[in-house]
Structure 1
Amino acid sequence: MDHAAFAESVRAEADAWDRSGGLPADVVRAVAEAGFLAADVPVRYGGRGWSPTELGSLCADFGAVCSALRALVTVQGMVAAAVLRWGDDDQRARWLPALTSGEVVAGFAATEAGAGSDLAAVGATFDGRRLSGRKLWVTFGAVADVFLVLASRGGRPVAVLVEAGQPGVAVEPVTGQLGMRAARIAHVGFADVPVAEVLAPPGFGLSHVVGTALDHGRFTVAWGCAGMAGACLDHSVSHVRSRVQGGVPLSSHQAVRAVLGRCLVEVRSARRLCAHAAALREEGDPGALAETVLAKYAAARAASVVAEHAVRLHGAAGIAPGSAVGRFHRDAAVMRIIEGSDEVAEQHLGGHALRGGS
């Protein structure tokens, strides 16, 4: 089954996942068995060697159904990307097949109470043997088997792999948050936890290891948001064609058509920016990093704008329990924050413009 067919096969379940607050374990296994986890990892490590465009298409299809489903692919891919690029041979051989097969579920643990957008301010400490600190908003942290954790060693950033289930690892599931309710989000505490796995030397933990993971995350989030925006437009078109008000279908109202036109521009623009970022990544173009930030910024805004219009076009049905557009509207708000808020992205993009990035 290809990823479009897989996404369609689970579409009817997404609202139940949102209400129950978790992506079921059997769905995680099904995603893994279909080969959709860390699919861009080379075949020799158990991946499928997919191109950025292929990975993006997967995330768009999953994002059009459920943000948590897409987030599973995102986080697994972030950790795999960091291990692939910065791990040693033994670490790649140990972790990459486990990540691609779904034998282990990964969590990316960087955010802290005093270190959100400013990850250089992390308070978690690693003394060369043991890790202590508390991480917030870890996607799939409630069920993760291993965490990629950003910490500080002697004032220098370091990235370590920490297995869950050890003494000193405390997982606090988060429920009832605005969006991403099925993504098994948790706060995770590390109290003097033994660590044997370090990725890259101290000093490289943020700029290199975590930087690689975040770039991969932004790319997949961008495509997922483009898919979400497209799904909201599809829902809106279907609704206004069938909804009769004032004796005529909503689709015949000029104001409604104008809204749909604006939404179409948002969807197409986001998708094309994502495709451009993917093409640059495939070419190894150094501008791919900035273009990925641009694609994520634009796609997250598109998802938010189109979802808001979708809710308004649906009226009361858009905010009713089980409303897909209502769920997308909540998830889209989170996407404006995750992997870097609008304001942080705008600073990067301003610099890109000053360097001639038009």
Structure 2
Amino acid sequence: MTKLSAIKSPRRAADSITVSDVEVTTETAGTARRRRSSSVGRGMVSSVLAGVLVAGGLFGWAATSRDGAEDLSSEQVSADVAVPQAAINSAEKSFSDREQAASRGAVRSNLTEAVAGEAAKDRDAVLETSVEEATKSIAAGSAAEREAQMAEDMQLVEKQAAKLKKEAEEAARRLEEARKAAAAAAAAKTAAGSSDAPSQGNEAAIEVSAEDLAAISSSGGSMPLKSNFRVGARFGATGSWSRYHTGQDFPAPIGTPIYAVASGIILSPTAGGWAGTNVVIQHANGGATLYAHMSKRVASTGQAVKAGQLIGYVGVSGRSFGPHLHMEYYAPGVTPGKVYSASNPITFMRGLGINI
């Protein structure tokens, strides 16, 4: 029985054993696989968890660092903690020294400015005094120079006096003849009005030029300038002249026309350099007028002119302080150009009916 059982159940036994072995093997293998699977699963989970933990740690560190930075930037680290007390003391002392130095510098700056201001005042006072002295010196020198120049001019006028006297005498003769001729012509006209036949004797008596007749026949006077002028320095004024002003000034632009104040005969211009380009007119009353500082003269010596006739243009020739006409009047018998013997031209002009 036993044998039979043994025989009968060998397969079972074998199978049992085999199965058992197999099961054992299988179980072992399965367990191994399961263990390996579990190990792999746990490894993966561990890796993932480790990664998560690492990432979390990194994010946590970053957040902590950021929070710490924000805390530092917003709250700042206490000076007592971040800076040693010795450094604080040193800084305070340094700032104190700087404040004292700045204060001393400000004081020095103020003192420097005050001293500079006083020095500037002293310099200004000295400069003002120097300018005043220089001005007085220049004025005195200029006056002396003008007087010397005028003295030289008077010597030239004195040398010219004989010539001008002769010309004046000739002019007076011509004017007298013209006056007589005009009177004769008027008488002849009157006679002709009472008779049909002209008077040959009266016609023969007229031996002067038409210019002379025109000059002597015109009456009254004319302003020497008729536009763009003003009345300037008058006769007898003192100031920038060597002694006093010897005529009447009419400031006007250069090129302003100048006219004869009264009828007469043109004489030679004065030799005095002070007058520059000038015209001298001998009048019928025996006196003469002088027109100085012209830019150009258009009347020639010996020419007869009538009142209001163009004789030249305003300029700055000679010793002039600016463009203007300087007019002088010389009474009968006085040589034109002897400035300190001249008379007031306004008086002469008013005698001609010129209101000025």
TM-score, normalised by the number of residues in structure 2? 0.18
TM-score, normalised by the number of residues in structure 1? 0.18
